[in-house]
Chains A and B, each alone.
Chain A
Amino acid sequence: MMKKQKNDRFASFLDWLENGGNALDEEMQDALREEEPEAPGKQKREKKKKSSDKTADIAKKPRKAYADSWWYRLLAFAVAAALIWLLMEAVDRMPRFGAADTLMDSELTEFYVEHTKEETGAMNIVTGIILNYRGFDTLGETHVLFIAVCTVLLMLSIYGEQDEKKRLAQGALERYFEPHHDVILQSAARLLTPLILIFGLYIIANGHLSPGGGFSGGAVLGAGLILYQNAFEYRKIEKFFTYKTFKWVSVCSLLFYSLAKGYHFFTGANHLDSHISIGTPGNILSGGLLLPLNFVVGCVVACTMYALFTMFRKGEF
Protein backbone atom coordinates (compact mmCIF):
# COMPACT_ATOMS: atom_id res chain seq x y z
CA MET A 1 0.00 0.00 0.00
CA MET A 2 2.68 2.43 1.03
CA LYS A 3 4.84 1.48 -1.91
CA LYS A 4 2.03 2.01 -4.38
CA GLN A 5 1.33 5.39 -2.86
CA LYS A 6 4.94 6.34 -3.18
CA ASN A 7 4.97 5.33 -6.83
CA ASP A 8 1.82 7.34 -7.44
CA ARG A 9 3.35 10.35 -5.84
CA PHE A 10 6.49 9.98 -7.83
CA ALA A 11 4.51 9.62 -11.06
CA SER A 12 2.48 12.73 -10.39
CA PHE A 13 5.66 14.58 -9.51
CA LEU A 14 7.23 13.48 -12.81
CA ASP A 15 4.11 14.63 -14.65
CA TRP A 16 4.39 17.93 -12.99
CA LEU A 17 8.07 18.24 -13.91
CA GLU A 18 7.42 17.29 -17.53
CA ASN A 19 4.81 19.99 -17.83
CA GLY A 20 7.49 22.54 -17.14
CA GLY A 21 6.69 22.86 -13.49
CA ASN A 22 3.71 25.00 -14.27
CA ALA A 23 0.79 22.81 -15.05
CA LEU A 24 -0.59 20.04 -12.94
CA ASP A 25 -2.79 17.31 -14.30
CA GLU A 26 -5.61 18.69 -16.39
CA GLU A 27 -8.38 17.54 -14.11
CA MET A 28 -6.27 18.56 -11.21
CA GLN A 29 -5.98 22.03 -12.66
CA ASP A 30 -9.71 22.14 -13.11
CA ALA A 31 -10.18 21.06 -9.56
CA LEU A 32 -7.79 23.72 -8.38
CA ARG A 33 -9.47 26.40 -10.46
CA GLU A 34 -12.90 25.41 -9.28
CA GLU A 35 -12.07 25.54 -5.63
CA GLU A 36 -9.44 28.17 -5.45
CA PRO A 37 -8.69 28.56 -1.80
CA GLU A 38 -9.64 31.92 -0.47
CA ALA A 39 -7.53 33.33 2.28
CA PRO A 40 -9.27 33.56 5.63
CA GLY A 41 -7.79 36.99 6.10
CA LYS A 42 -9.15 38.23 2.79
CA GLN A 43 -12.55 36.86 3.55
CA LYS A 44 -12.61 38.62 6.80
CA ARG A 45 -11.65 41.93 5.27
CA GLU A 46 -14.26 41.61 2.59
CA LYS A 47 -16.75 40.73 5.24
CA LYS A 48 -15.87 43.85 7.14
CA LYS A 49 -16.47 45.97 4.07
CA LYS A 50 -19.68 44.42 2.92
CA SER A 51 -21.11 41.83 5.19
CA SER A 52 -24.53 41.91 3.61
CA ASP A 53 -23.73 40.74 0.10
CA LYS A 54 -21.51 37.90 1.30
CA THR A 55 -24.39 35.49 1.29
CA ALA A 56 -26.70 37.41 -1.02
CA ASP A 57 -24.93 36.51 -4.23
CA ILE A 58 -24.48 32.84 -3.48
CA ALA A 59 -27.75 31.96 -1.82
CA LYS A 60 -31.17 33.02 -2.94
CA LYS A 61 -32.59 33.03 0.52
CA PRO A 62 -29.84 34.27 2.81
CA ARG A 63 -30.54 33.15 6.32
CA LYS A 64 -29.14 35.45 8.90
CA ALA A 65 -26.60 33.65 11.02
CA TYR A 66 -27.31 33.52 14.71
CA ALA A 67 -23.82 34.57 15.63
CA ASP A 68 -24.25 37.84 13.71
CA SER A 69 -27.26 39.02 15.62
CA TRP A 70 -26.78 41.35 18.55
CA TRP A 71 -28.86 39.29 20.93
CA TYR A 72 -26.69 36.24 20.39
CA ARG A 73 -23.56 38.23 21.19
CA LEU A 74 -25.19 39.78 24.23
CA LEU A 75 -26.40 36.39 25.41
CA ALA A 76 -23.01 34.77 24.91
CA PHE A 77 -21.34 37.61 26.75
CA ALA A 78 -23.83 37.32 29.59
CA VAL A 79 -23.32 33.56 29.80
CA ALA A 80 -19.55 33.95 29.91
CA ALA A 81 -19.76 36.68 32.54
CA ALA A 82 -22.17 34.63 34.63
CA LEU A 83 -19.82 31.66 34.37
CA ILE A 84 -16.88 33.77 35.55
CA TRP A 85 -18.93 35.10 38.46
CA LEU A 86 -20.07 31.61 39.40
CA LEU A 87 -16.55 30.24 39.32
CA MET A 88 -15.28 33.15 41.38
CA GLU A 89 -17.91 32.38 43.98
CA ALA A 90 -16.71 28.78 43.95
CA VAL A 91 -13.08 29.85 44.38
CA ASP A 92 -14.25 32.05 47.24
CA ARG A 93 -15.61 29.04 49.05
CA MET A 94 -12.60 26.82 48.48
CA PRO A 95 -10.03 26.30 51.24
CA ARG A 96 -7.55 29.08 51.77
CA PHE A 97 -4.74 29.16 49.21
CA GLY A 98 -1.40 27.86 50.47
CA ALA A 99 -2.76 26.56 53.79
CA ALA A 100 -1.19 23.42 55.19
CA ASP A 101 -4.11 21.94 57.07
CA THR A 102 -6.67 21.67 54.29
CA LEU A 103 -5.62 19.39 51.48
CA MET A 104 -2.58 17.90 53.16
CA ASP A 105 -5.03 16.33 55.59
CA SER A 106 -6.00 13.87 52.91
CA GLU A 107 -4.86 10.41 53.92
CA LEU A 108 -3.88 9.51 50.39
CA THR A 109 -1.46 12.41 49.98
CA GLU A 110 0.18 11.68 53.31
CA PHE A 111 0.55 8.04 52.35
CA TYR A 112 2.17 8.96 49.05
CA VAL A 113 4.65 11.37 50.59
CA GLU A 114 5.58 8.94 53.36
CA HIS A 115 5.87 5.71 51.40
CA THR A 116 6.93 6.58 47.84
CA LYS A 117 10.64 6.31 48.62
CA GLU A 118 10.53 2.87 50.26
CA GLU A 119 7.90 1.32 48.03
CA THR A 120 8.89 2.56 44.59
CA GLY A 121 12.45 3.79 45.01
CA ALA A 122 11.69 7.10 43.34
CA MET A 123 13.13 10.32 44.69
CA ASN A 124 10.66 12.31 42.63
CA ILE A 125 7.30 11.68 44.27
CA VAL A 126 5.33 12.70 41.18
CA THR A 127 7.08 10.09 39.02
CA GLY A 128 6.54 7.49 41.71
CA ILE A 129 2.84 8.26 41.70
CA ILE A 130 2.20 8.39 37.98
CA LEU A 131 4.33 5.38 37.00
CA ASN A 132 3.82 3.11 39.98
CA TYR A 133 0.74 3.79 42.05
CA ARG A 134 -1.27 5.13 39.12
CA GLY A 135 0.64 3.27 36.43
CA PHE A 136 -2.45 1.76 34.88
CA ASP A 137 -3.90 5.23 34.38
CA THR A 138 -0.69 6.35 32.67
CA LEU A 139 -0.94 3.34 30.35
CA GLY A 140 -4.33 4.71 29.30
CA GLU A 141 -2.88 8.17 28.74
CA THR A 142 -0.13 6.85 26.47
CA HIS A 143 -2.76 4.98 24.50
CA VAL A 144 -4.73 8.20 24.18
CA LEU A 145 -1.68 9.76 22.53
CA PHE A 146 -1.32 6.84 20.15
CA ILE A 147 -5.01 6.95 19.27
CA ALA A 148 -4.78 10.69 18.63
CA VAL A 149 -2.00 10.09 16.08
CA CYS A 150 -4.04 7.36 14.45
CA THR A 151 -7.03 9.70 14.20
CA VAL A 152 -4.99 12.49 12.65
CA LEU A 153 -3.40 10.01 10.22
CA LEU A 154 -6.85 8.85 9.17
CA MET A 155 -8.23 12.35 8.86
CA LEU A 156 -5.36 13.79 6.85
CA SER A 157 -4.52 10.87 4.59
CA ILE A 158 -7.80 9.32 3.45
CA TYR A 159 -9.39 11.16 0.55
CA GLY A 160 -11.60 10.44 -2.40
CA GLU A 161 -9.97 9.54 -5.71
CA GLN A 162 -10.04 13.07 -7.12
CA ASP A 163 -8.64 14.68 -4.01
CA GLU A 164 -6.11 11.92 -3.56
CA LYS A 165 -4.29 12.90 -6.75
CA LYS A 166 -4.31 16.52 -5.73
CA ARG A 167 -2.98 15.65 -2.31
CA LEU A 168 -0.14 13.55 -3.72
CA ALA A 169 0.82 16.33 -6.09
CA GLN A 170 0.77 18.82 -3.26
CA GLY A 171 2.98 16.54 -1.19
CA ALA A 172 5.45 16.37 -4.07
CA LEU A 173 5.35 20.16 -4.41
CA GLU A 174 5.96 20.56 -0.69
CA ARG A 175 9.00 18.30 -1.02
CA TYR A 176 10.24 20.11 -4.09
CA PHE A 177 9.92 23.61 -2.75
CA GLU A 178 11.26 23.09 0.75
CA PRO A 179 14.20 25.39 1.45
CA HIS A 180 17.49 23.60 0.91
CA HIS A 181 20.09 26.16 1.96
CA ASP A 182 18.80 28.22 4.83
CA VAL A 183 22.19 29.06 6.36
CA ILE A 184 21.02 30.72 9.59
CA LEU A 185 18.46 28.06 10.39
CA GLN A 186 20.79 25.20 9.51
CA SER A 187 23.75 26.47 11.54
CA ALA A 188 21.52 27.10 14.54
CA ALA A 189 19.92 23.68 14.17
CA ARG A 190 23.32 21.99 13.82
CA LEU A 191 24.29 23.53 17.15
CA LEU A 192 20.99 23.13 18.98
CA THR A 193 19.59 19.79 17.89
CA PRO A 194 22.18 17.59 19.66
CA LEU A 195 21.88 19.70 22.80
CA ILE A 196 18.08 19.47 22.79
CA LEU A 197 18.13 15.72 22.17
CA ILE A 198 20.70 15.12 24.93
CA PHE A 199 18.72 17.31 27.31
CA GLY A 200 15.58 15.33 26.52
CA LEU A 201 17.38 12.04 27.17
CA TYR A 202 18.75 13.47 30.42
CA ILE A 203 15.26 14.45 31.57
CA ILE A 204 13.93 11.00 30.76
CA ALA A 205 16.80 9.10 32.37
CA ASN A 206 16.68 11.18 35.55
CA GLY A 207 12.90 11.12 35.76
CA HIS A 208 12.87 9.23 39.04
CA LEU A 209 15.54 11.40 40.65
CA SER A 210 14.89 14.95 39.55
CA PRO A 211 12.02 16.90 37.96
CA GLY A 212 10.94 15.50 34.65
CA GLY A 213 10.15 12.06 33.38
CA GLY A 214 8.76 10.42 30.32
CA PHE A 215 6.16 13.02 29.43
CA SER A 216 8.34 16.11 29.65
CA GLY A 217 11.47 14.46 28.23
CA GLY A 218 9.50 12.95 25.38
CA ALA A 219 8.06 16.35 24.50
CA VAL A 220 11.57 17.85 24.47
CA LEU A 221 12.83 15.00 22.24
CA GLY A 222 9.89 15.52 19.90
CA ALA A 223 10.64 19.24 19.72
CA GLY A 224 14.27 18.44 18.82
CA LEU A 225 13.17 16.12 16.04
CA ILE A 226 10.77 18.76 14.75
CA LEU A 227 13.58 21.33 14.66
CA TYR A 228 15.81 18.90 12.76
CA GLN A 229 13.10 18.15 10.23
CA ASN A 230 12.39 21.84 9.73
CA ALA A 231 16.01 22.85 9.25
CA PHE A 232 17.19 20.05 6.99
CA GLU A 233 15.59 18.23 4.13
CA TYR A 234 13.03 15.49 4.49
CA ARG A 235 15.55 13.16 2.91
CA LYS A 236 17.90 13.55 5.87
CA ILE A 237 15.45 12.75 8.62
CA GLU A 238 13.98 9.93 6.58
CA LYS A 239 17.32 8.17 6.85
CA PHE A 240 16.49 7.29 10.43
CA PHE A 241 12.89 8.23 11.09
CA THR A 242 10.15 7.06 8.75
CA TYR A 243 6.62 5.86 9.14
CA LYS A 244 8.01 2.39 9.80
CA THR A 245 10.18 3.65 12.66
CA PHE A 246 7.22 5.43 14.18
CA LYS A 247 5.06 2.33 13.91
CA TRP A 248 7.56 -0.03 15.43
CA VAL A 249 8.77 2.24 18.21
CA SER A 250 5.26 3.19 19.29
CA VAL A 251 3.81 -0.29 19.18
CA CYS A 252 6.80 -1.92 20.89
CA SER A 253 6.79 0.75 23.60
CA LEU A 254 3.09 0.35 24.30
CA LEU A 255 3.46 -3.43 24.28
CA PHE A 256 6.35 -3.29 26.74
CA TYR A 257 4.39 -0.95 29.01
CA SER A 258 1.37 -3.26 28.93
CA LEU A 259 3.50 -6.32 29.68
CA ALA A 260 5.30 -4.59 32.53
CA LYS A 261 2.03 -3.48 34.09
CA GLY A 262 0.56 -6.92 33.55
CA TYR A 263 3.52 -8.39 35.38
CA HIS A 264 2.92 -5.93 38.20
CA PHE A 265 -0.67 -7.00 38.52
CA PHE A 266 0.24 -10.65 38.24
CA THR A 267 2.79 -10.57 41.04
CA GLY A 268 0.98 -8.40 43.52
CA ALA A 269 -2.14 -6.57 42.62
CA ASN A 270 -2.76 -4.30 45.56
CA HIS A 271 0.63 -2.92 46.37
CA LEU A 272 2.00 -3.45 42.88
CA ASP A 273 4.93 -5.36 44.33
CA SER A 274 7.06 -6.36 41.39
CA HIS A 275 9.73 -8.52 43.05
CA ILE A 276 12.23 -6.44 41.11
CA SER A 277 14.82 -4.95 43.40
CA ILE A 278 14.29 -1.22 43.74
CA GLY A 279 17.95 -0.70 44.54
CA THR A 280 19.19 2.26 46.53
CA PRO A 281 16.88 5.23 46.05
CA GLY A 282 18.97 8.02 44.63
CA ASN A 283 21.09 5.94 42.27
CA ILE A 284 20.48 6.20 38.56
CA LEU A 285 19.84 2.44 38.28
CA SER A 286 17.15 2.21 40.91
CA GLY A 287 13.43 2.25 41.23
CA GLY A 288 12.81 -1.12 39.60
CA LEU A 289 10.68 -0.63 36.52
CA LEU A 290 10.51 3.17 36.75
CA LEU A 291 13.49 3.81 34.48
CA PRO A 292 12.42 1.55 31.59
CA LEU A 293 8.84 2.77 31.89
CA ASN A 294 10.06 6.36 31.72
CA PHE A 295 11.99 5.54 28.54
CA VAL A 296 8.99 3.82 27.03
CA VAL A 297 6.65 6.72 27.78
CA GLY A 298 9.27 9.14 26.46
CA CYS A 299 9.53 7.20 23.18
CA VAL A 300 5.76 7.22 22.72
CA VAL A 301 5.45 10.93 23.46
CA ALA A 302 8.38 11.89 21.20
CA CYS A 303 7.04 9.79 18.33
CA THR A 304 3.58 11.25 18.83
CA MET A 305 4.75 14.85 18.74
CA TYR A 306 6.92 14.29 15.70
CA ALA A 307 4.24 12.33 13.86
CA LEU A 308 1.59 14.95 14.51
CA PHE A 309 3.83 17.72 13.21
CA THR A 310 4.84 15.74 10.14
CA MET A 311 1.22 14.98 9.36
CA PHE A 312 0.29 18.64 9.56
CA ARG A 313 3.26 19.79 7.54
CA LYS A 314 3.30 17.26 4.72
CA GLY A 315 -0.13 15.71 4.92
CA GLU A 316 1.51 12.31 4.80
CA PHE A 317 4.13 10.47 6.72
Chain B
Amino acid sequence: MEALNIILLLFMIVCAVAVAATRNLLAAVITFMAQGLAMSVVWILLQSPDLAITEAAVGAGVSSILMFAALKKIHAIREKGEAEDDEKAEE
Protein backbone atom coordinates (compact mmCIF):
# COMPACT_ATOMS: atom_id res chain seq x y z
CA MET B 1 0.00 0.00 0.00
CA GLU B 2 2.78 2.38 0.93
CA ALA B 3 4.56 1.66 -2.34
CA LEU B 4 1.36 2.21 -4.34
CA ASN B 5 0.80 5.48 -2.53
CA ILE B 6 4.30 6.70 -3.34
CA ILE B 7 3.99 5.66 -6.99
CA LEU B 8 0.67 7.46 -7.37
CA LEU B 9 1.92 10.62 -5.69
CA LEU B 10 5.01 10.65 -7.90
CA PHE B 11 2.79 10.09 -10.93
CA MET B 12 0.70 13.09 -9.94
CA ILE B 13 3.73 15.34 -9.63
CA VAL B 14 5.09 14.10 -12.97
CA CYS B 15 1.72 14.81 -14.58
CA ALA B 16 1.68 18.31 -13.13
CA VAL B 17 5.16 19.03 -14.47
CA ALA B 18 4.18 17.59 -17.85
CA VAL B 19 1.15 19.87 -18.02
CA ALA B 20 3.42 22.81 -17.34
CA ALA B 21 5.96 21.68 -19.92
CA THR B 22 3.79 20.78 -22.91
CA ARG B 23 2.77 23.28 -25.55
CA ASN B 24 -0.02 21.14 -26.96
CA LEU B 25 -3.28 22.13 -25.27
CA LEU B 26 -4.99 18.79 -25.97
CA ALA B 27 -2.08 16.89 -24.41
CA ALA B 28 -2.19 19.21 -21.41
CA VAL B 29 -5.89 18.51 -20.82
CA ILE B 30 -5.41 14.74 -21.17
CA THR B 31 -2.47 14.80 -18.76
CA PHE B 32 -4.53 16.76 -16.30
CA MET B 33 -7.25 14.11 -16.63
CA ALA B 34 -4.69 11.38 -15.79
CA GLN B 35 -3.69 13.35 -12.73
CA GLY B 36 -7.32 13.47 -11.61
CA LEU B 37 -7.63 9.70 -11.98
CA ALA B 38 -4.50 9.12 -9.87
CA MET B 39 -5.95 11.50 -7.32
CA SER B 40 -9.13 9.42 -7.07
CA VAL B 41 -7.09 6.30 -6.26
CA VAL B 42 -5.11 8.24 -3.65
CA TRP B 43 -8.38 9.14 -2.01
CA ILE B 44 -9.35 5.49 -1.74
CA LEU B 45 -6.03 4.92 0.01
CA LEU B 46 -6.88 7.81 2.34
CA GLN B 47 -10.11 6.02 3.30
CA SER B 48 -12.56 8.50 1.78
CA PRO B 49 -14.50 6.59 -0.89
CA ASP B 50 -17.07 9.38 -1.32
CA LEU B 51 -14.37 11.71 -2.54
CA ALA B 52 -12.92 9.01 -4.78
CA ILE B 53 -16.20 8.46 -6.63
CA THR B 54 -16.82 12.17 -7.01
CA GLU B 55 -13.31 12.88 -8.23
CA ALA B 56 -13.40 10.00 -10.72
CA ALA B 57 -16.67 11.27 -12.18
CA VAL B 58 -15.99 14.99 -11.95
CA GLY B 59 -12.25 15.60 -12.02
CA ALA B 60 -11.37 12.94 -14.54
CA GLY B 61 -14.63 12.97 -16.46
CA VAL B 62 -16.73 16.06 -16.65
CA SER B 63 -14.24 18.87 -16.11
CA SER B 64 -11.84 17.49 -18.74
CA ILE B 65 -14.75 16.96 -21.14
CA LEU B 66 -15.76 20.58 -20.60
CA MET B 67 -12.21 21.63 -21.47
CA PHE B 68 -12.32 19.45 -24.61
CA ALA B 69 -15.61 21.01 -25.63
CA ALA B 70 -14.28 24.51 -25.06
CA LEU B 71 -11.12 23.69 -27.06
CA LYS B 72 -13.25 22.37 -29.90
CA LYS B 73 -15.43 25.44 -29.80
CA ILE B 74 -12.43 27.69 -30.32
CA HIS B 75 -11.09 25.38 -33.04
CA ALA B 76 -7.88 24.63 -31.18
CA ILE B 77 -8.10 20.87 -31.67
CA ARG B 78 -9.15 20.81 -35.30
CA GLU B 79 -6.66 23.40 -36.48
CA LYS B 80 -3.93 21.64 -34.64
CA GLY B 81 -4.75 18.34 -36.31
CA GLU B 82 -4.82 20.01 -39.68
CA ALA B 83 -1.49 21.66 -39.02
CA GLU B 84 0.02 18.30 -38.15
CA ASP B 85 -1.45 16.82 -41.32
CA ASP B 86 0.15 19.62 -43.28
CA GLU B 87 3.48 18.86 -41.72
CA LYS B 88 3.17 15.21 -42.64
CA ALA B 89 2.27 16.13 -46.20
CA GLU B 90 5.32 18.35 -46.42
CA GLU B 91 7.54 15.52 -45.34
Contacts and interface: CB of A to CB of B under 8 A. Distances in A.
B57 A41 contact: no
A105 B57 CA distance: 33
Interface of B: 23-25, 48-50, 52-54, 57-58, 61-62, 65-66, 69-70, 72-76, 79-80, 82-83
A219 B66 contact: no
Given A39-B82, A309-B62, 16 more contacts: A37-B79, A39-B79, A39-B83, A41-B25, A44-B23, A45-B83, A124-B50, A211-B53, A213-B50, A215-B54, A216-B50, A216-B54, A222-B62, A223-B61, A223-B62, A309-B69
Given A215-B54, A219-B61, A42 B79 contact: yes
Contacts of B66: 308-309, 312
Given A213-B50, A219-B58, A223-B61, A39 B75 contact: yes
Interface residues of A, number: 27
A312 B69 contact: yes
B2 to A, nearest CB: 11
Contacts of B76: 39-41
A45 B75 CA distance: 16
Given A211-B50, A312-B69, A220 B57 contact: yes
A126 interface: yes
A315 interface: yes
A254 interface: no
Nearest to A124: B50
B72 A212 contact: no
Contacts of A313: 69, 72-73
A302 B80 CA distance: 32
A211 B72 CA distance: 35
A203 B53 contact: yes
A26 to B, nearest CB: 23
Most buried by B among A39, A42, A222: A39
